[in-house]
Every structure is written in structure tokens, then in C-alpha cells.
Amino acid sequence: MKRIALISSDSALRRTVALALECAGAEITTDTRMEELRTCDIVVVIGAAAFASGRLSVESLRRCGEHRPEIFVISWQHTEQTVLSMLECGVDQYMTFPVCLGRLRIKAADK
Amino acid sequence: MTEIYTIYSAAAAMVMILLWGDLLRRRTAEYVDRRHAAPLRDRCLRMIVQSDGSADGALPPIRRRSERMRLAEVLAELAATTDVAARSRTDSIVAAYGLDRLVLRRIRLASGYRRALWLLRLARLNPRPETAQAVRRYSSSRNRNVRFCTLLCAIAAEPLRSLHTVACWGDTLSRFETAQIVTLIFRGRMPVACTPLLTSPHDNLRMLGLGVVRRIGADETFPILLNIASSDPDRRIAREAMYTLCALHLPLDCRDVVRAMAMMPAAERKSLYRFMAFEGYSVRALSELFREQERQYFESLVESYKCRIPCPR
């Protein structure tokens, strides 16, 4: 069973995404401690602010030489510059709001 | 003297009673939410999210009006942030539980900002043209938010006529209203061309065009944006075009931008410099624009936005 961590300050959005991913048979955790995040298969970050402010970075989430966990970002930012910056930083999937939860489930199941 | 003490004591007692009363009201509301509203919200969320994709799936019966109202709220909230509520699924849920009639009733009974909130929820529930017609009378409300949310209902009901609806709206759109309309239009997956909007004679459509350009990052509209910034008859739209240029990180060291900035009052220039610094423009990139002392001001802004980049050990 996949282990997916959710990072979001919005409890309603967090609950919605968690429900959607539970349908894919995943175990959801909202523990944001770095040790816990590193043990997950996928980390879903809702909002790009954590990366933009430097509070969160791909290097801090992953151990040296490993490509785990996979990082998904769901954000309201639609501009090409933001999307490319995120992908160049090492984010695996960047999705924009309004997010298609079915597509998110499929991508989480594929990884 | 005794009377003064009595008055002070009475006033202090009154304040304490009001504070405790407010605290009690909040605790009661939290308790009610935890016991009743939150589980109901969760149940509605599960019903919608976990049945996504099965447009023909059976819907459980919900008889209580309060539960159906909660379902309408959750569905509207979901529609704002997710694509889970495909049109067919939303329509089937709304039709099965009569949510549009319930929401219309709530709109009729509410007033002011509550009415605007329910109109906004109705707009997110994919209303039919007849439903939007039923709320059309609120387009002449004294409350601007009510008028705007009525506009959103009209756009959501007939997306193909959205541009005409926006052009005919009597008020001038603010930046936030423009963003909401752009979001609603893009939810409807309606193709929108930027250039005809930007060159439209209607102020609201030009504002909408600027919103679309910001949303999709349409760099190819650079010449049109420069033209609007330097020569639009509406100074508000010209200023908005300047902000759009900055948001797209386009080059600003050109004659049209200098001309546009020259027409701005000092306060607007300072506000624009703050936005430019936030968007990451350097001092050198804007050297053509500065008047005396503005360069120092912009340098201080740039310094304040710099942050330490953590280096891996």
C-alpha cells in the first residue's frame, strides 16, 4: 500500500485530496516532520508557497542519491515560469487548480 | 465618589459579561460544528468525491433540508477547487436533491453579503439559464457584491454569452472580480482569445483580457500591452496593463513604459516599484525609469526581498 503525505495549511482542501487518494488504496498521513516525509512514497504539497519561500526544498525531502519520495505540487499558479521553475527544482508532478482528482488518483497509482 | 465607583464597576461587569458571552457563543458554535456539521460535511464530501466517475451511480436519500443545504455548500466548495464535479455529475446531484430550488429559496430569504455568498454558490453549481433568470432581479441590488455574484450566475448559466454579459455589466470590474470571472470562464473550458479582448472598445472586456493574459502568461501580447499601458484612455486599465507587464516579467526598458510611468502620480509609481521588486526586477533592468531618489528607494526594496539561499552541507 502506498504511503502518501499531504502538506497543506487548508484543512478543507487537505481533507478533499485525502479522500480522493484513499480511493486509490493509499495510506494518507498529514505528519509534516521531515523524518516521516522521507519514509513516504509520495508527498503532495498543496500550494507553491512552501517552495517559493524556501521553507521546503526537494533536496531536504530526499536522501542523497535517492529519487524518493515523489513530489507532487498542486497550486493556483498557472504561469509557465512558475511551472517550469518547480519542475526544474525537482518536482515530479505539477498540477493546477481546479485539480482533477481522478487524474491525481491515476498519477499517484502509476508512481 | 461612590457613584463613580458604582458606574465603573457596572461598566466593567458589562464588558466582562459581553466577553464571556462571546466566548461561550464561539465554544458553542465549535461544539455544534464538531458534533454535527463536520461529520455531515465529511459524509457529503465522501459521497461526491468517492463516486466521481460514476455519473450513473445511485445517490443515497437525503431528506432533511439542513443536510441538503450542507451538500450544496460542499458541492459549491468542491467546484471552486477541484474538477471532481463534472458537469453531468453536478447536474445529477443538483437535480436529485433539488439543490437549485433550495439555494434560490435561501437567496430570497437572505440579504446583503449572505445573499452574495449564496449567489456565488449557485454560480458554482452550474445553474441552468432558467435559474439564472430567476436571480436576474438582483443585478440592480445596492450591494455591489450581490450585483457581481448575479453576473457570475449569468456567466455560469450561459458561458457562450459570457463576453457579451461582461460587456453589458454596468459597473467597472476590479482586479479581483476579473480574476473570478477568468476562473469561471476557464472552468467552462471555453476558448478565449486574448487579442480581441485587449483591443475591445469595452473597458470591462479589456480588463478581462488583461486577466486572461496574466492567467495564461501570454507573452506574445507584449506589443498590445505596451500600447495599452502608454495610450489607453482609461488610466485604471493603463495601470493594470503595467502590472500585467511586470507579472509576466517582460522587459520594461522601452519608450512606451517610460511614457506610461511618466503619466503616473508619485504614489502609483511607488506602488508599482514595490510590485516590480516583488516580481524580481533588478535595478539595472529599470534604470531608464527612475527619477531622482526613486533609484535609492527601489534599491532598498530589492535588498529587503533578498533572502539567504540555504546551501547543502
- Confidence (pLDDT) at B86: 60
- Confidence (pLDDT) at B306: 66
> Which residues of A are less than 8 Å from B50 in CB distance?
19-20, 22-23
Beta bridge partners of A42: A4, A70
Contact A66, A34 (CB under 8 A): no
Residues 6 or more apart from B96 whose CB is under 8 A from it? B59
**CB nearest to A23's CB, from B50, B187, B214:** B50
What count of CB pairs under 8 Å joins A to B?
A: 61
Instruction: State how far residue A57 is from chain B, nearest Cα, in angstroms.
Output: 10
Nearest CA in chain A to B80: A98
Residue A29's identity, in one-letter code, is T
Q: Which candidate, B132, B126, B171, B167, places its Cα nearest to that of B150?
A: B132
Show the cell assigned to B223. Answer: 506589443
B84/A59 CB distance under 8 A: no
> Which residues of A are less than 8 Å from B216 in CB distance?
78-79
Separation between Cα atoms, residue B204 and residue B100, nearest integer Å: 29
**How crowded is residue B297: how many other Cβ atoms within 10 Å of its Cβ?**
16
Nearest CA in chain B to A22: B50
| Owning domain of residue A8 | 3-110
CA angle B226, B232, B235 (to 5 degrees): 110
Residue B20's identity, in one-letter code, is W
> Which residues of A are less than 8 Å from B185 in CB distance?
none
> Which residues of B are less than 8 Å from A8 in CB distance?
none
Task: For residue range A54-89, list pLDDT tens digits in order.
Answer: 777 777 777 777 777 889 999 888 777 788 888 888
Separation between Cα atoms, residue B116 and residue B151, nearest integer Å: 11
- Confidence (pLDDT) at B92: 82
Residues 6 or more apart from A40 whose CB is under 8 A from it? A3, A4, A5, A29, A69
Instruction: Tell how far CA B122 is from the center of its chain.
Output: 15
Task: For residue range B135-192, list pLDDT tens digits in order.
Answer: 999 999 999 999 999 999 999 998 888 889 999 998 999 989 999 998 888 776 667 8
B249/A81 CB distance under 8 A: yes
Contact B140, B150 (CB under 8 A): no
Residue B257's identity, in one-letter code, is V
Task: For residue range B190-206, list pLDDT tens digits in order.
Answer: 678 888 999 999 999 99
**CB nearest to B312's CB, from A59, A99, A101:** A59
CATH number of the domain enclosing A11: 3.40.50.2300
Contact A101, A18 (CB under 8 A): no
Domain count along chain A: 1
